[in-house]
Structure 1
Amino acid sequence: MAHYSQPAAANYYTPSAHSHQKQRGYRICDQCGAIENPAVQKFRLCGGCMTAQYCSPECQKSNWSSHKAICQHTAAQLSAVKQQYMSSAYADENLAKYLRKFTSTHSSLLGWAGFQALQLKRLPANIRSNALLIELSYNSHADSLHRFSIANTHVVPRSYVTGHDSLVAADIERREERCRRSGGIGTAVILIQCGSISQVMPVEVDPPSKITWDSREDWADVLRHFVESGRTDFKPISTTSRGRVVYG
C-alpha cells in the first residue's frame, strides 16, 4: 500500500469524543432535482421506503406515480425482514431500520469510500461496471453509533447488486440518466450489507475533473477508523468546493 504524507481526512486525528457534528452529503430531490442545503432546509425522506427524499410535500406528491413501484417493493422487503426477526430469539427486529440509519448517518464517508474503491478519479468508466460491497457486523449496543463495525469490503461487479432485483436496477438507471443529463459521469453503487439484510446506496457523481480528492488506497482503513470510532464528522481533504457528489 502507498505511503501518504497526510491522512485522507482533514480531521482524522480529531478526538472522537469531540465529534458531535454530523456531516451530510449533498442530497437531491427525487422530483425537481433541487440540491439540499442542510443549513437552510433538510429534505424529508419517504415514509414508506425511507430512501427517496424530497424538498417539499408538493414534490413528494408529484413524484408518487413514478416512485410508487420501488417504494412499495422496498417497504415490503422491510416488512418481511421485520417478520423474520420477530420469530428469532437471537436477532434484533429493528436491524433493517438501524442499517438505513447507519447509511444516512455515514453518507459522506460511504460516498467517499465508494469513489476511492472504484478508482473513479483515474478510471471513471468503472462506475458502470463495478460496485462497492461493505459487509457489516452487528453489535447490540445502546449507543446507535456503535451498533455496526466493518467486517469486510469488496469491489464486486455491478450486476451483483442490480442483477437480482429489476426494480432496484431500474431505479439506479433512472438516477444514472438524470446524473448524465446534468453533466455527471453516472451513479456509483454502494451495497451495505449485514447478514441477509442490505441497503443499496446510489451516489450520483460529478466529472472527476471537478472533484479534488486525491486517489487513496487506504480508503478501507479510513472507513473502518471513522465507523468504529463512532464518528460522524468525516471531512475529506479538498482544495476547492467545486466538486460534489449527490447521495440518493
Structure 2
Amino acid sequence: MPLPRASESYYQTHPTQLDQKMQRGYLIICDSCGAIESPSVKFRLCGGCATTRYCSPDCQKAHWPSHKAVCQHTAAQASTATKIASVGEVDITKTLRKFTSAHSALLGWAGFQALQLKRIPSNVRRNALLLELSYRDHAEWLRRFSIVSTHIVPRTYIRDPLVVNDIQRREERCRHSGGIGTLVVILQCRDIAQVMPVEVDHPSKISWDEREDWLAVLNHFIESGRTDFKPISTTARG
C-alpha cells in the first residue's frame, strides 16, 4: 500500500551540542545576516516555527517581514495536526515533535548516509529520506516510536509550496556558505508528517565514515531511547 503524502509540515532545527563542525557535518546559519554559528556563539531559535536561528535579537527582528509567512504557516499546520492526532490523552504530534528534536543529530546523520552524500553529493537536491513510524504506548516518551520502513523518495514528495520555497532558500544560502545544499528527512506517523531540513557542509570537510549499517544504528538508538548519538570517524581519512 502506498504511503500517504506528507501534508503536515514541521521544521526541526539542527543540534548545536557537537563542538566540531567537522563532526556535525551541517551548517547553522543566521537567517538574517548569513553568519555561521561558532562554538563560542550560540544562535537564537525562533519560537514560532522552531526551525530558524538568528545570531541576535536584532537580526531576528529585521528578518520577521520575510520570515512571517512560513513561520505562521508552519505553526498553524502543527496546531491543526495536533487537534486531529490527539487520541484520548495522547498527543502524537507533540510527542513526534519532541522525538524529532531529541534525535536530530542521529536523523541528520542517517539521511546523509541513506542518500550516499559522501559519494554522490548531488543526491541532496534530488531525493529525501522518508521514515515511516509506528506509535506505541510506553512509559518513556522517547521509546514510543519505532521505524516500520524507510524510503528514498524524490524531493517532489513535498508539495506544500511554502515549505518547498523555504527549503530552496535554505539550499541557496547553504551553497553560498560553502555547503552542498539542504538534506530533507521526513518523519511520518499515521497521517502526521514532520519535515526536517539539514543544511549540509561539503563532504570533503566532513570526517564521517560511510556506513552501510546506518539503518541498524538508527534502529538501535531509537529503540533504546538513547539521545547521545555523535557521528564519529573510525578511519584515518574519515
TM-score (norm 1): 0.78
Match of 1:237 in 2: 232
Once residues 96 and 107 of structure 1 are traced to their aligned partners in structure 2, the CA distance between those partners, rounded to angstroms, is 16
Q: Give the residue type in structure 2 aligned to 1:179.
A: C
Once residues 50 and 205 of structure 1 are traced to their aligned partners in structure 2, the CA distance between those partners, rounded to angstroms, is 19
Q: How has the CA–CA distance of structure 1 residues 231 and 37 changed in structure 2, closer, same or farther, with 3 Å as cutoff?
A: farther
What do residues 160-181 of structure 1 show as CA deviations (whole Å, max 9, x unaligned)?
12xx100000000000000111
Q: Give the residue type in structure 2 aligned to 1:171.
A: D
1:98 aligns with 2:87: no
Instruction: Report matched runs for 1:142-161 at 5 Å.
Output: 142-161=139-158
2:201 to 198, 206, 209: 206
Q: Give the residue type in structure 2 aligned to 1:85.
A: A
Among all aligned residue pairs of Structure 1 and Structure 2, give the percentage whose two residues are the same amino acid.
68
1:107 aligns with 2:110: no
Match of 1:116 in 2: 113
Q: CA deviation at 1:209?
A: 1.2
Match of 2:83 in 1: 83
Q: CA deviation at 1:102?
A: 1.6
Structural RMSD (CA): 2.3
Structure 1 stretches lacking a partner, 5+ long: 1-21, 244-248
Q: How has the CA–CA distance of structure 1 residues 55 and 102 changed in structure 2, closer, same or farther, with 3 Å as cutoff?
A: farther
Once residues 170 and 61 of structure 2 are traced to their aligned partners in structure 1, the CA distance between those partners, rounded to angstroms, is 19
1:29 aligns with 2:26: no
Is the 1:23–1:232 contact (alpha carbons within 8 Å) kept by the matching residues of 2?
A: no
Once residues 50 and 174 of structure 1 are traced to their aligned partners in structure 2, the CA distance between those partners, rounded to angstroms, is 17
Is the 2:209–2:234 contact (alpha carbons within 8 Å) kept by the matching residues of 1?
A: no
Q: Secondary structure at the match of 1:236?
A: coil
Q: Give the residue type in structure 2 aligned to 1:183.
A: G
Q: Secondary structure at the match of 1:122?
A: coil
Match of 2:61 in 1: 61
Is the 2:131–2:151 contact (alpha carbons within 8 Å) kept by the matching residues of 1?
A: yes
1:197 aligns with 2:197: no
1:139 to 136, 139, 143: 136
Is the 2:45–2:54 contact (alpha carbons within 8 Å) kept by the matching residues of 1?
A: yes
Q: Secondary structure at the match of 1:114?
A: helix
Match of 2:182 in 1: 187
Q: How has the CA–CA distance of structure 1 residues 219 and 63 changed in structure 2, closer, same or farther, with 3 Å as cutoff?
A: same
Once residues 65 and 230 of structure 1 are traced to their aligned partners in structure 2, the CA distance between those partners, rounded to angstroms, is 39
Q: CA deviation at 1:121?
A: 0.7
Q: Secondary structure at the match of 2:116?
A: coil
What do residues 127-151 of structure 1 show as CA deviations (whole Å, max 9, x unaligned)?
1111100122222333232122222
Q: CA deviation at 1:42?
A: 4.6
Q: Give the residue type in structure 2 aligned to 1:70.
A: V
What do residues 78-123 of structure 1 show as CA deviations (whole Å, max 9, x unaligned)?
121122235x44x72x322222222221111111101100011111
Once residues 190 and 167 of structure 2 are traced to their aligned partners in structure 1, the CA distance between those partners, rounded to angstroms, is 23
Q: How has the CA–CA distance of structure 1 residues 85 and 186 changed in structure 2, closer, same or farther, with 3 Å as cutoff?
A: closer
Q: Give the residue type in structure 2 aligned to 1:182.
A: S
Q: CA deviation at 1:188?
A: 1.0
Q: How has the CA–CA distance of structure 1 residues 69 and 206 changed in structure 2, closer, same or farther, with 3 Å as cutoff?
A: same
Q: CA deviation at 1:74?
A: 0.8
Structure 2 stretches lacking a partner, 5+ long: 1-15, 19-23
Match of 2:9 in 1: none
